A = this chain, B = another copy of it.
Amino acid sequence: MREHTVSSFDQDLRQIDQLIREMSDLAAAMVSASIDALLEADEATAQQVIADDKLMDAKQREVDDRAITLIAKRQPMAQDLRAVIGAIRMAGDLERVGDLAKNVAKRVGAIGKITAPRALSTGIKEMADLVLGQIRNIVAAYADRKPQELQTLRIDDEKIDVKYTSIFRELLTYMMEDPRNITPCTHLLFCAKNLERIGDHMTNIAENAYYVLTGTQLPLQRPKLDEMSSSISE
């Protein structure tokens, strides 16, 4: 009987994990499309991302419902309970990633065609690629039960922060050069900040997944690099 209960629990949990995988695929697709829309001033793609966010919200509600039902039905103990609560949290972070991609998409109209130098578009594209790598690799490491990879991937968030700081400085320079750049560059600044925040949510997921897999917390994170620690003169 116990064997039966345990394997039913695992089966229910696998279904929840499958939903988390779907959420992470959708999150990656939304981030990728929102940045394409931004760089190509492609309003149709932007609208698609905005529509996809509703699907993301529905998937999160499904994870929540299944997780709460699973707890009520199977009454899991310590370790299993942490896995279910961990899944609720990961779904929460992925839903936020979708929200941030939607926020980038909503700015496409306000920014219009990017007239800033090519270096800026390249920088944003490179930052987005780093973020996409984190989404794909962190959720894969969790699905493949590879906690050591999660530890390494968490450190990779630094690369995103370095990129963000350099884009922040570049945008300020363009704004100072020509006041007509101020409005579009302000929106681009929020877009870059959103990518940086997506990186932070992926770090949360890595830490959460590590805890679910190992039962121990990752050691404390390095102090975070951000645009306040960079020496921008006023």
Residues in chain A within 8 A of chain B (CB atoms)? 64, 68, 71-72, 75, 77-78, 81-82, 85, 88-89, 92, 106-107, 109-110, 112, 172, 175-176, 179-180, 182-184, 186-187, 189-190, 193, 226-228, 232-234
- Specify how many copies of this chain sit in the oligomer: 2
Contact B180 A234 (CB under 8 A): yes
Rounded to whole angstroms, the CA-CA distance of A151 and B87 in the bound complex is: 29
Contact B175 A182 (CB under 8 A): yes
Q: Could you tell me the distance in whole angstroms from the C-beta of A37 to the nearest C-beta in chain B?
A: 13
Q: Cβ of A179: which chain B residues have Cβ within 8 Å of it?
A: 175-176, 179
Interchain CB contact (< 8 A) of A82 among B68, B82, B228: B68
Apart from A68-B82, A72-B77, A175-B179, 4 more pairs, CB < 8 Å: A88-B88, A110-B227, A183-B233, A190-B193
Rounded to whole angstroms, the CA-CA distance of A234 and B85 in the bound complex is: 46
Rounded to whole angstroms, the CA-CA distance of A172 and B184 in the bound complex is: 11
Q: Which residue of B lies closest to A177 (CB)?
A: B179
Identify the interface centre among A68, A89, A182: most chain B CB within 10 Å of its CB: A182
Q: Which residue of B lies closest to A96 (CB)?
A: B96
Tell me whether A182 and B193 are in contact in the complex, defined as CB-CB below 8 angstroms, given that A82-B68, A228-B106 are known contacts. no
Q: Cβ of A106: which chain B residues have Cβ within 8 Å of it?
A: 226, 228
Rounded to whole angstroms, the CA-CA distance of A192 and B186 in the bound complex is: 13
Interchain CB contact (< 8 A) of A85 among B75, B88, B228: B88
